[in-house]
Structure 1
Amino acid sequence: MQLSEPATSVSPPRPLSAAGRGVVASAHAAASAAGRTMLERGGNAMDAAIAMAAALGVAQPMMSGLGGDSFILWYDAATGRITSINGAGPAPAAAADDPARPLPMRGLGSASVPGAVDAMCLAYDRHASGRLSFGELLAPAIELAERGCETPHFCARFFALNEALLAADPGARQALLIDGRVPREGESLRQPDLARTLERLATRGRDDFYGAGLGARLVELSRQTGGPFRESDFDGVFAEAAAPIQVPYGDGWVLSNPPVAQGTVLLQALGILDRLNLPADDGALRAHCMIEALKHAFADRNDFLGDPRFTENPLPQLLAAPRLDRIAAAIDRSRAATALPRARWSLGSGDTTCFVAADARGNVASYITSISTPFGAGVVVPGTGVLLNNRAGRGFSPDVHSPNHLAPGKRTMSTLHVYMALDSQRRLVMAGGTAGGDGQPQWNLQILDAVLNRGLSLRQAVDQPRWELFPGSDPAHLAHPYEIRVDRRLDATLVDRLRALGHTISDKSLGMLGAAQVLGIAPSGGFVAAADPRADGAAYAVG
């Protein structure tokens, strides 16, 4: 399978599509430029991805950074092997002293141990080219933090919405505000403390970051403020390499990250849809069946999935062909299911940042990194510039019977995942991911369907209006346990048909959520990449 060449735009302010022997795409132009620089210097796709990960933590502090977590898929062109890297850190042990008490959604008590740096270092050790030092990969991020990074429209919007959160924390006030206020669109934000932390990471490495660096400062902050972090929370290794999970799809396969990532949701939904033989030109029926498939996939996540170190995840059974056959056969094409499928706990909305890179040798990295909700915990560790995640506070289920219930040292299920699609010869077709909490598997599903089934180009698939299934506003109103939030650009006839099929259409618009980044194989050879216009991103090519 090959993809269409990207559609051209008339004088775009930044390139949203690119084609070449190597490509990069991210949600911020400065980060994409960092990745392109690494490819130009002879680095491979992982070199480019690591540089983009570091730069995005500076350029998009509301989305990601050294205080977050990451998941990666790596396609090795020489072997055809795909590897998943899980970089999620555990909840601090003291946070689970009273597991019946819910964790706060913000503040130091909402944070898990950051896994992003461990993931970055593991990815560098295993998959980088070896031509560029770790310090060279972090250099663009260091320069952005030291000299300042301009605040584009997408970032300024998030800053404005979260000014009170940042002003409430002394570290965040010092690191992320300008004269006591958030940076406005077009203003440059300097982060000198973060620059020094990145320099220290570049020279002293991973163990220092979790030891005498951020780890020690975070323990001290906890001691001063009654927070949950202790020295023992930073012992051990947080990132791990594993085999990806996969499902047959069409005449190929789609792969994603295993738990604690939620790639299973995407793969289950794809496996169900693959059995329905839906007409390509009936958008409303396709959307209806996607929604019904996702209801089952989310319910299975809630019932069965958790940290593999604590619970046995029945992935072979959940993705088994007979089970997918049964679910597909039970979907009513003429009516939305209103019976509540088991647990309706949700990981909710969230924001993160995803990016992709491919090099001239054919290697591909699909990489996602996050601090969970915008600006995470709202806490910057003093003197480091590092903004902490709120993954623990947001992610664990309050249900004591859930496999995702809080326990000491446990990693919460994460919304994060990326994907790769392969053809019948197991050659790469496309790779990507998106921001958006529980919207991630839904928007990834819509993009994959658009390209693999409906023949859209990457550019068209990324630009298309989207919808999102989410829990209804009234938990007791079991007749309508779900609502559908739609992009206002979505065809009105399609929306009316969904409503006629029994779906509750929310009056809340999707807005700018879901910044997807994708790449694929171009017919002319090499790669084509597309960046989402919903964010401040860009796609660049090399060669």
Structure 2
Amino acid sequence: MNPRPSTLSADGMVSSSHPAASTVGARVLADGGNAIDATLAMAAMTWLTLPGQCGIGGDAFAVVREPDGSVWTVGGSGFGPDGGDVDFYTERGLRSIPLDGALAVAVPGAPAALGALHAGGATRSLTDLWAPAVRAAEKGLPCSAKTRDDVREAHTAIAADPGLRAVYLPGGRLPQVGELLPQRDLARSIRALARDVHGFYTGSFARQAVEALRAGGAPFGGDEWAAGADVRPEAAISGNYAGAVVHQTPLPTPGWMVLQQAALNDGVVGFSPWLTAPAVDRMARAARLAFEDRFATCGAGNDGWKDVLEPAAIGAARDRLDGRRASSGAFSVSAGDTTSTVAVDCDGRAVSFIHSLAFTFGAKMTVPGTGVVLNNRYGRGAYLIPGHPNAAAPRRKPLHTLNAWVITDTSGNLLHVGNTPGGDGQVQWNMQLISHLLDHGLDPAEAVAAPRFTVFPGSDADVVGRPAELRCESRIPEEVRTELERLGHDVALQGPWAAGGSAQIITLDAARGLLSGAADPRQEGIALGV
């Protein structure tokens, strides 16, 4: 696999994990739309191009940098069922919330987040922006190798759901690469959502969804579904790294974990040559410490993350890392299935956007007659640990893996915009991308293609007690891996491009008025300029 060179443009750029999504976004920019318009168009198209990764029934987050230098975010994730406290699940003999079926579902946040993003600065109607996705759903997009593999992975569960089975197992068989997969029910749902985003939470769709979930045994009452409509712009959370400012998504996302790692690595990683053992060792131990702090202190409704970013806490944590006293944690990273986009327009507005169903095809459950696949975020994110800040409880959002970022200089001028999917890998790989860009001056193509490493354990709720590992793509040189083992890491070797993720980066060279961007060669994405 050969990394693609960075794409160059002077007027605007988009990048996503599928060519059809990038093409839609680039056309919006070429027709005079802004980066928010392009993001919304790409979001809907990825519901069709990457259906195992994202959808109307998932969650979504964005960071927006405006031309005046201000930065804001939207966060769309919903509550679990009002009747779903820890006792509800444990009394049914469960040690963790299931990952498939109605019990796995949280109220989808994506529609409300997209509505808030649109209200925050779009220039085109959702009906216009989503028209290409509607046409693609009616006609059917060619099945990609990624979608075929996702269907194969979730085959048994897909076969058990009539809505999924009708689309993804045509004639009862796996789809072939290139085979058209029409989704007429979904086309009708996209049209309805474009006309009235909030109807998803209070109208006929909401009633259908709650009825289906209750029939599946999930203790939804309906009020928590209606409450999911309330998504409003929020300030980004920000921190410094290598003389720049990193802007991240707030709770329930783990954006603070990227900022914590940045604070722990600043002035250390950049003084080691690129991807040498000291640099990898420091970033790996900082990531492991962040996961420990997440599990110990953070739930979606509290401010524990603020405490770990206090200067005294950062100083104490740096002392621990300098003294090589980071411990191994208790929970395992899971990769997850998510997809993301980035866009920059001619005015310098930048959007980093990410959305997900959690794991592949989410809960493997559709709302009958709608084509909408529901997420399994509650099963993935909520703990069955009494008293824990992230324990299952009424009106509590589970912790999230999604996060997105924009980097500016200290005056607010745009430098970079990026993100990557990848479950609990995200907060680690985003730190690595930021270091590649700011510490070592890599261009976007070099940064997204760079060899990755991933610490285990992380903090997903579904698996516990896994041994600590440092998973390294084999392109990290053998001598570096050997030195990491000497430093105490249990190195697990992965294939040269096997870590996961699908990173997107756009960089602005203000001096030349030039944008450069790239999509991760680990998937089939592309960056396009206009």
Same fold (TM over 0.5): yes
Partner Cα separation in structure 2 for residue 69 and residue 38 of structure 1: 23
Given the superposition, is the C-alpha separation of residues 277 and 219 from structure 1 closer, same or farther in structure 2, using an over 3 Å criterion?
A: closer
Superposed displacement of residue 292, structure 1: 0.9
Looking at structure 1, the residues matched to 142 and 506 of structure 2 have their Cα atoms a distance apart, in angstroms, of 26
The whole-number CA distance in structure 2 between the counterparts of 1:167 and 1:474 is 25
Q: What fraction of aligned residue pairs are identical, expressed as a percent?
A: 33
State yes or no: 1:206 paired with 2:197. Answer: yes
Q: CA 1:423–1:338 in structure 2 vs 1: closer, same or farther (change >3 Å)?
A: closer
Match of 1:443 in 2: 429
- Equivalent position to 2:167, from 165, 175, 181: 175
395, 407, 413: which one pairs with 2:399? 413
Alignment of 1:132-171 (within 5 A): 132-171=124-163
In 2, are the aligned partners of 1:465 and 1:490 still within 8 Å (CA)?
yes
Deviation at 1:273, TM superposition (A): 0.4
Partner of 2:502: 515
2:294 and 2:305 in contact (8 A); partners too: no
C-alpha displacement at 1:275, in angstroms?
Answer: 4.1
1:539 alignment partner AA: A
Whole-angstrom distance in 2 between the partners of 1:347 and 1:409: 26
Question: 1:350-389 residue pairs with structure 2 within 5 A?
Answer: 350-389=336-375
Q: What's the CA shift for 1:260?
A: 0.2
Indicate the residue corresponding to 2:440 in structure 1.
454
Give 1:3's aligned residue: none
1:23 aligns with 2:13: yes
1:119 Cα deviation (Å)? Answer: 0.3
Report the CA distance between 1:330 and its aligned residue. 2.0
In 2, distance between residues paired with 1:462 and 1:444?
10
Q: Is the CA contact (8 Å cut-off) linking 2:167 and 2:181 kept in structure 1?
A: no
Kindly state the Cα deviation for residue 277 of structure 1 after the two structures are TM-superposed.
5.8
Deviation for aligned residue 1:226:
3.2
Whether the aligned pair in 2 keeps the contact of 1:484 and 1:506 (CA below 8 Å) is yes
Secondary structure of the corresponding residue to residue 355 of structure 1: strand
Q: Is the 8 A contact 1:17 1:531 kept in 2?
A: no
Is 1:500 aligned to residue 486 of structure 2?
A: yes
Give 1:293's aligned residue.
286
SS at match of 2:437: helix
TM-score by length of 2: 0.92
What RMSD over aligned residues (CA atoms) do the two structures have, in Å?
Answer: 2.2
Which letter does structure 2 place at the counterpart of 1:405? Answer: A
What number of residue pairs does the alignment pair up? 517
Match of 1:529 among 504, 517, 524: 517
Shift of 1:156: 2.4
Q: Does the 8 A contact of 1:89 with 1:114 survive in 2?
A: yes
Alignment-mate amino acid for residue 57 of structure 2: G
Deviations 1:334-389 (A, max 9, x none): x6x57445xx2356321100110111111011000000011110111111111110
For the residues of structure 1 that align with 2:101 and 2:50, how far apart are their CA atoms?
A: 20
Q: How do 1:19-418 residues align onto structure 2 when only pairs under 5 Å count?
A: 19-77=9-67, 79-96=68-85, 98=88, 100=90, 101=94, 102-128=96-122, 130=123, 132-203=124-195, 205-236=196-227, 237-276=229-268, 278-281=270-273, 283-308=276-301, 312-332=302-322, 337=325, 339-340=327-328, 344-346=330-332, 348-418=334-404
1:201: Cα distance to partner? 1.4
Shift of residue 208, structure 1, vs aligned partner:
1.8
Give, in angstroms, the shift of residue 231 of structure 1.
2.5
Give the Cα separation in 1 of the matches to 2:173 and 2:204: 28
Q: Name the SS of the counterpart of 1:65 in structure 2.
A: coil
Secondary structure in structure 2 of the residue aligned to 1:95? coil
Residue 476 to residue 199, structure 1, CA distance change in 2 (3 Å): closer
- Indicate how the Cα distance of structure 1 residues 213 and 52 shifts in structure 2: closer, same or farther if over 3 A, else same: farther
Contact 1:16 1:538 in 2 (8 A): no
Contact kept in structure 1, 2:270 and 2:435, CA below 8 Å = no
1:433 aligns with 2:422: no
TM-score, normalization by structure 1: 0.90
CA contact (8 A) 2:333 2:457 kept: no
In the alignment, residue 522 of structure 2 is paired with which amino acid? R
